[in-house]
């Protein structure tokens, strides 16, 4: 079976960062502080990477759905 490949652009990564951070702040995540922290850190790291020019071109993600 061939896995699907999807390209993700800087704009899509930026939107993902916004969603990750929003989820980290959600009251629904209140019972999972470790997950909240992980989501917050992931969002911060990705935002910093975008700020310094990462990625230069769209990234191919193997096995991605959607």
- Residue 59 predicted with pLDDT over 90: yes
What residues form DSSP beta bridges with 61? Answer: 6
- Rounded to two decimals, the pTM is 0.81
Locate the domains of the chain by residue range.
5-57
CA distance 29 to 27: 5
At 11-36, the pLDDT tens digits run 999 999 999 999 999 999 889 999 99
Torsions phi, psi for 56 (to 5 deg):
-70, -35
Sign of CA dihedral 66, 17, 44, 60: positive
């Amino acid at each position: 079976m061939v896995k699907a490949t999807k390209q993700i652009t800087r704009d899509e990564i930026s939107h993902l960062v916004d969603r990750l951070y929003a989820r980290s702040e959600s009251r629904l995540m209140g019972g999972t502080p470790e997950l909240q922290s992980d989501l917050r850190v992931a969002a911060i790291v990705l935002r910093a990477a975008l700020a310094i020019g990462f990625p230069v071109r769209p990234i191919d993600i193997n096995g991605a759905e959607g």
